[in-house]
Amino acid sequence: MLSKCVGRMNDIRHWFYLPNGAKTVWHAVLSGETIIYKDMEFDTLEAFVSAHYEAEGIDFVSKDCWEDCDTNVYGDWKPLSEMRDSRKHFVKE
């Protein structure tokens, strides 16, 4: 489903603010249905987002990983939820 909304070999990012106010961003690449960040591979957005929070020592579970992650569309970062919702009429799961 993810590659149908984003495409192959596209950028995905997840970011949030740490308690000290600093912004932390993970930029990953989607290859097929696998999210690749540095030397780590994730099969789901949930796993990618959870690993980012865990790496920063944050005990948090995202309610909507599609809303929390963005993809680069012609130079503009768009929420994955926007891409998913716009494709629902065209893509069969």
Whether the pLDDT of residue 92 is over 70: the answer is no
Question: Using the 8-state DSSP alphabet, how is residue 32 labeled?
Answer: T
pLDDT at res. 31: 85
Assigned domain for 70 exists: yes
Assigned domain for 47 exists: yes
Determine the Cα–Cα distance for residues 28 and 44; give it in Å rounded to an integer.
12
Assigned domain for 52 exists: yes
Q: Which residues contact 83 (CB under 8 A, 6 or more apart)?
A: 5, 6, 71, 73
Kindly report the pTM of this predicted structure: 0.80
Q: pLDDT by residue (tens digit) across 61-90?
A: 778 888 889 988 888 888 888 876 665 534
**89 — alpha (psi -120 to 50), left (phi > 0) or beta?**
alpha
Assigned domain for 89 exists: no
pLDDT at res. 3: 58
C-alpha distances out from residue 52 to 3, 13, 27, 92, Å: 21, 11, 11, 30
Assigned domain for 93 exists: no
Assigned domain for 90 exists: no
Q: How many domains does the chain have?
A: 1
Q: What domain range includes position 30?
A: 2-83
Assigned domain for 91 exists: no
